[in-house]
Structure 1
């Protein structure tokens, strides 16, 4: 079962409350998304830790309900 883009964004915002989230459906199939997530809480974190924070916010859905997520993270400018 595919996830909706809004559900992905809501999960990320619930786990990272100050996050700005942009979700793009890459294939139009509800299984392959790109996410751009910016958060002040990422300041000073290496990129891998930023990605781990997003995956944690998704609560184990990666690889199951959510098949593929191209992730870009950073701090607001």
Structure 2
């Protein structure tokens, strides 16, 4: 997902691992396809089960964040 602050446009693409949920009242969400856990990118709430949010300080971007999700695969 990428948000361009200059022209106020967002680009979100699903991947082999994540499904983008863009039409949710809570905002932009990602669902990990293997364990079906939801990743919430809203900075005001927890990112979700087995997930962490790490802000990155950079002079290149206004905001950069890395989300890490640990998959709990059923055996």
Q: TM over 0.5: same fold?
A: no
Identify the structure with the greater helix proportion. 1
Higher relative contact order (CA 8 A, sep 6+): 1
Q: Choose 1 or 2 for highest CA Rg.
A: 2
Identify the structure with the greater strand proportion. 2
| TM-score, normalised relative to structure 1 | 0.29
